[in-house]
Chain A
Amino acid sequence: SSELTQDPGVSVALGQIVRITCQGDSLRSYYASWYQQKPGQAPVLVVYGKNNRPSGIPDRFSGSSSGNTASLTITGAQAEDEADYYCYSRDTSGNHRVFGGGTKLTVL
């Protein structure tokens, strides 16, 4: 099991808001980064740090953090956002990196 816990699956209606969460004790001290992965493709960084987006990532993607929970919010979900999403940060010991188990986002 991962030290970062994600819901296995989340669904959202087209154009609506969806929040994908990541829980873990290490998140009280470290920000998470978020990755989108579509079938057969390498992951893509979508949010990192407090709330930073790499060039080319739409501004409907945003990140936030509170206590032991990091969140990725998609405001106005599009069909092309259907994918697996992974959070990433440090483990509880602070010495190593770890991924969350991933959340499969379905856009209805």
Chain B
Amino acid sequence: QVQLQQWGAGLLKPSETLSLTCAVYGGSFSGYYWTWIRQPPGKGLEWIGEIHHSGNTNYNPSLKSRVTISGDTSKNQFSLRLSSVTAADTAVYYCARGGSGVIFTYYFYYMDVWGKGTTVTVSS
């Protein structure tokens, strides 16, 4: 059974860089979209971005200038870096395994395995 274990600093000061890593256990890195999602306190889910096993990345346009997602296939890990954080970046950050498919002309995307989440607080 695939599991994702994530870690990283939980308390940051404004202007610092958020850095989180997610390790994939019990499954292959290939064939999936490795995704980061966040959830501010009391709010909904926000897609941050993803990295395909091929190395291609795709970011939320609202965060693109500050986000980097990278992968290390030799370690079955992928990472998130978010620069110049502010209090608005305070959230629970999740990593997830994403898949896709197509039925006739309809494509679909999903995330079937999630990490437990890391609470990141930005405060001076």
Report which A residues bind B (CB closer than 8 A): 2, 29-33, 35, 37, 42-45, 48-50, 54, 84, 86, 88-90, 95-102
Contacts and interface: CB of A to CB of B under 8 A. Distances in A.
A95 B57 CA distance: 11
Secondary structure type dominating chain B contacts: strand
Contacts, number: 77
Q: Which one of B50, B59, B61, B106 has the highest number of Cβ atoms from chain A below 10 Å of its Cβ?
A: B106
Interface of B: 35, 37, 44-47, 50, 58-61, 94, 101, 103, 105-112, 114-117
Contacts of A37: 45
B111 A33 contact: yes
Q: Nearest 7 CB-CB pairs, A to B?
A: A48-B110, A31-B108, A33-B110, A42-B114, A102-B44, A99-B45, A97-B47
Contacts of B111: 33, 35, 43, 45, 88
